């Protein structure tokens, strides 16, 4: 018998599986479950974008692309970031096209973080920052953002978490799972602290196109003095409903990007060619599609947030991404109990807030990347469930 | 297009509360707006979207293309009014192209529809020719994909 354990890197064994998975696995075993647990658009990639991919295949464009990604795509990405978020990068040497935003986060952290470096991660946050920091040899340090601050990162919270070992701040806004955004004043106020302590920022802006209520995403790289110390992570998955194409990108200063490129080059070589052709079309002619999807998400967002508050699950107004993050403390259940019982008793799958960090306890994440019809049914069942639980508590 | 009408035409079971949340307008404004649409005849009614294939003894539907000689003064309207008075006719449109009226007819059986066409429709003064097309299967009605009951389980939950 081989002792597999002795062959496995022990630091990998220490990585916990994602808490989102568990609920998906429960849900998939059952019939008639409406899933509000999925973090991907329910829309299909707009047809003209799919067609651009198909056309490239018909023309036989099936080779590797350059390591950094096709020049045409890099140019379009740079035009896009300038057009939408007012930050300009040089397509020659300040962009790397990655396999989704996820690869981008991994590359950025591994390029900057050294053993013992502290990486600040505001929580609740998407599940990958912690394990990727850990795998890069760094030490994740969590900053608890609070419902009363609309889950924004404040200057004080940041300042209090900094030690002489702090090197990087991960900035995940618009935020998954809370739907929180950071506005220009919020960013300006933390930028001062970041510069004073000479930190680097990995800004995950994958939901940058999905903001509501008249708010427009502001990139921290657009704040004075920040571009030179920021790596932007973004991609096509959320804005253009292109999750399966696996395409993202990193934007940052040349000296960092040339090091990032080496990791990408040796580990991945180049991102999928077909997806890159589709992405060029998305950036050139996809603004209207994004606007239509954004409008649709906004309708659902209003419905979900309004109803949740009415049901008695208080929910701050999320202004970005496609998640609502209501507080379930009034039911007396833990996030885990609430989510497990909800799927078992009412066939509605959500994700417990605790999957996104300890401070997510007492909350659940509800994705509104679902049809209005399903959202309507789901809200009705959640209402029944909350009533039943509250009655049990009385009795 | 009016967003309220768009939402109601997709799903008429939205409550005024739900509509008011989605559109960011007060509930009483929404209620008044709907009432106005009803009074003006913009909203004609509310129906359930039924997948008849799942119902035993479901009716048979046929689309009948009619060629019609238009009348002086009234054009196609006179014949149209005559035809739509039949209970068997569920919808009817005036068409541009190789025929004039498109008539949706529901019957208990194909026999039933056939005899309606032969005995009633084709005898109407002004009707020159008919072509009957029976519907075999509905894939999508009123914007709804009828075979979309199950969640696409090929979608992966990645994290």
Decide which of A229, A264, A286 is a domain's last residue.
A286
CA neighbor of A360 nearest in space, from A155, A144, A128, A150: A144
Q: Do A128 and B22 touch (CB under 8 A)?
A: no
Rounded to the nearest angstrom, the minimum Cα separation between B25 and chain A is 11
Q: Do B159 and A38 touch (CB under 8 A)?
A: no
Q: Do A35 and B151 touch (CB under 8 A)?
A: yes
Q: Give the range of the structural domain holding residue A343, as residue numbers without chain letter.
A: 4-45+288-387
- CA dihedral sign, ordered B85, B89, B91, B92: negative
Q: Do A299 and B151 touch (CB under 8 A)?
A: no
Q: In this predicted structure, what is the pLDDT of residue A21?
A: 73
Q: Do A372 and B10 touch (CB under 8 A)?
A: yes
- Regarding whether A297 and A173 lie in a shared domain, the answer is no
Which CATH number describes the domain made up of B52-137? 3.30.70.920
Rounded to the nearest angstrom, the minimum Cα separation between B11 and chain A is 8
Q: In this predicted structure, what is the pLDDT of residue B157?
A: 63
Q: In this predicted structure, what is the pLDDT of residue A7?
A: 93
Do the Cβ atoms of B21 and A317 come closer than 8 Å? no
Domain with residue A18: its CATH number is 3.90.1150.10
Decide which of A286, A309, A329 is a domain's last residue.
A286
Collapsed DSSP state (helix, strand, coil) of residue B84: helix
- Regarding whether A238 and A108 lie in a shared domain, the answer is yes
User: Which of residues 39 through 68 in chain A touch B, CB cutoff 8 A?
Assistant: 39-40
Kindly list the distances between the CA atom of residue A36 and the CA atoms of A131, A387, B114, B134, B151, in Å, as whole numbers in the listed order: 25, 20, 48, 40, 12
Could you read off the pLDDT of B119-144 as tens digits, one per residue?
A: 999 999 999 999 999 999 889 888 88
Q: Give Cα A213 distance to the centre of its chain.
A: 20
Residue A110 in domain: yes
Q: In this predicted structure, what is the pLDDT of residue A136?
A: 95
- Regarding whether A296 and A252 lie in a shared domain, the answer is no
Residue A174 in domain: yes
Q: In this predicted structure, what is the pLDDT of residue B4?
A: 94
Do the Cβ atoms of A153 and A122 come closer than 8 Å? yes
Q: Which sequence spans correspond to the domains of chain B?
A: 3-39, 52-137
Model pTM?
Answer: 0.89
Could you read off the pLDDT of A287-322 as tens digits, one per residue?
A: 999 999 999 999 999 999 999 999 999 999 999 999
Q: Do B11 and A373 touch (CB under 8 A)?
A: yes
- CB distance from A38 to chain B under 8 Å? yes
Task: Mark the ranges of chain A whose per-residue pLDDT is less than 70.
Answer: none
Q: Do A21 and B157 touch (CB under 8 A)?
A: yes
For range B65-91, the mean pLDDT: 93
Q: Do A24 and B18 touch (CB under 8 A)?
A: no
User: Which of residues 87 through 126 in chain A touch B, CB cutoff 8 A?
Assistant: 126
Side by side, the strands of the sheet bearing A351-352 are A323-324, A364-367, A351-352
Decide which of A286, A319, A351 is a domain's last residue.
A286
Residues of B in contact with A21 (CB under 8 A): 157, 159
Residue A394 in domain: no
Rg for chain B, CA atoms, rounded: 21
- Regarding whether A95 and A105 lie in a shared domain, the answer is yes
- Regarding whether A116 and A214 lie in a shared domain, the answer is yes
Rounded to the nearest angstrom, the minimum Cα separation between A184 and chain B is 25
- Regarding whether A220 and A362 lie in a shared domain, the answer is no
Q: In this predicted structure, what is the pLDDT of residue A28?
A: 76
CB atoms within 10 A of CB A204: 28
Residue B154 has pLDDT above 80, yes or no: no
For range B69-90, the mean pLDDT: 93
Question: ipTM score here?
Answer: 0.77
How many distinct structural domains can be found in chain A? Answer: 2
* Closest chain A residue to the Cα of B16, Cα to Cα: A303
- Regarding whether A134 and A267 lie in a shared domain, the answer is yes
Residue A274 in domain: yes
Those residues of chain B whose CB sits closer than 8 Å to some CB in chain A are 7, 10-11, 13-14, 18, 21-24, 151, 153, 155, 157, 159
- Mutation to test the A interface, candidates B151, B152, B153, most A Cβ within 10 Å: B151
Rounded to the nearest angstrom, the minimum Cα separation between B136 and chain A is 27
Could you read off the pLDDT of A117-130 as tens digits, one per residue?
A: 999 999 999 999 99
Residue B26 has pLDDT above 70, yes or no: yes
What is the helix (H) or strand (E) element at residue A88, kind and residue range? none
- Identify the band that residue B51 occupies on the pLDDT scale cut at 50, 70 and 90: confident
Q: Do B157 and A372 touch (CB under 8 A)?
A: no
Return d(Cα A300, Cα A348) in angstroms, integer.
17
Residue A156 in domain: yes
Residue A303 in domain: yes
Length of chain B: 159
Residue A301 in domain: yes
Beta strands in B30-148 (DSSP E): 60-68, 89-94, 101-107, 127-134, 140-141, 144-145
Query: Mean of the per-residue pLDDT values for chain B?
Result: 90
- Regarding whether A357 and A234 lie in a shared domain, the answer is no
Do the Cβ atoms of A256 and A111 come closer than 8 Å? yes
* Closest chain A residue to the Cα of B23, Cα to Cα: A299
Query: Which tokens sit at A357?
Result: 């960090």
Q: Do A303 and B155 touch (CB under 8 A)?
A: no
Q: In this predicted structure, what is the pLDDT of residue B149?
A: 57
Q: In this predicted structure, what is the pLDDT of residue A30?
A: 84
- Regarding whether A250 and A135 lie in a shared domain, the answer is yes
């Amino acid at each position: 018998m081989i002792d597999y354990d002795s062959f496995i890197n022990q630091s990998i064994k220490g990585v916990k599986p994602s808490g989102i998975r568990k609920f998906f696995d429960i849900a998939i075993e059952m019939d008639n479950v409406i899933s509000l647990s999925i973090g991907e658009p329910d829309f299909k990639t707009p047809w003209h974008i799919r067609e651009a991919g198909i056309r490239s295949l018909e023309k036989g464009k099936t080779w590797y692309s350059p390591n950094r990604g096709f020049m045409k795509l890099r140019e379009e990405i740079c035009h896009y970031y300038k057009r939408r978020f007012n930050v300009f990068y040089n397509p020659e040497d300040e962009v790397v096209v990655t396999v989704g935003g996820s690869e981008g986060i991994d590359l950025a952290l591994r390029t900057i973080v050294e053993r013992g470096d502290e990486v600040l991660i505001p929580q609740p946050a998407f599940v990958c920052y912690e394990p990727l920091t850990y795998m890069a040899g760094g030490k994740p340090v969590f900053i608890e953002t609070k419902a009363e601050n609309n889950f924004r990162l404040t200057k004080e919270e940041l300042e209090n978490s900094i030690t002489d070992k702090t090197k990087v701040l991960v900035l995940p806004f618009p935020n998954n799972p809370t739907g929180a955004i950071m506005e220009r004043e919020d960013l300006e106020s933390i930028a001062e602290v970041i510069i004073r302590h000479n930190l680097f920022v990995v800004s995950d802006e994958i939901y940058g196109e999905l903001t509501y209520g008249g708010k427009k995403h502001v990139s921290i790289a657009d704040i004075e003095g920040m571009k030179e110390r920021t790596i932007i992570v973004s991609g096509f998955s959320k804005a253009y409903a292109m999750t399966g194409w696996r395409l993202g990108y990193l934007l940052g200063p040349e000296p960092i990007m040339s090091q990032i490129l080496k990791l990408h080059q040796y580990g991945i070589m180049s991102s999928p060619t077909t997806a890159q052709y589709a992405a060029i079309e998305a950036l050139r002619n996809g603004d209207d599609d994004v606007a239509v999807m954004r409008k649709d998400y906004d309708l659902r967002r209003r419905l979900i947030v309004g109803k949740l508050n009415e049901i008695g699950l208080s929910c701050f107004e999320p202004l970005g991404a496609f998640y609502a993050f209501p507080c379930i403390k009034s039911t007396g259940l833990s996030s885990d109990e609430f989510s497990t019982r909800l799927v078992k008793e009412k066939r509605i799958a959500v994700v417990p807030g605790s999957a996104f960090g300890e401070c997510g306890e007492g909350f659940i994440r509800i994705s509104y990347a679902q049809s209005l019809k399903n959202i309507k049914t789901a809200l009705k069942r959640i209402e029944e469930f909350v009533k039943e639980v509250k009655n049990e508590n009385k009795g | 297009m009016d967003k309220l009408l768009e939402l109601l035409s997709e799903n008429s079971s939205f409550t005024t509360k739900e509509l008011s949340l989605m559109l960011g307008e007060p509930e009483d404004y929404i209620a008044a707006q709907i009432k106005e649409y009803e009074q003006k005849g913009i909203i004609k009614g509310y129906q359930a979207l039924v997948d008849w294939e799942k119902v035993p003894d479901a009716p048979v539907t046929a689309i009948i293309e009619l060629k019609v000689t238009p009348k002086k003064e009234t054009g196609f309207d006179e014949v149209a009014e005559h035809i739509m008075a039949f209970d068997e006719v569920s919808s009817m449109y005036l068409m541009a192209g190789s025929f004039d009226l498109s008539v949706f007819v529901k019957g208990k059986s194909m026999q039933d529809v056939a005899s309606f066409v032969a005995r009633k429709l084709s005898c109407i003064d002004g009707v020159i020719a008919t072509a009957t097309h029976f519907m075999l299967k509905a894939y999508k009605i009123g914007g709804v994909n009828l075979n979309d009951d199950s969640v696409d389980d090929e979608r992966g939950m990645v994290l």
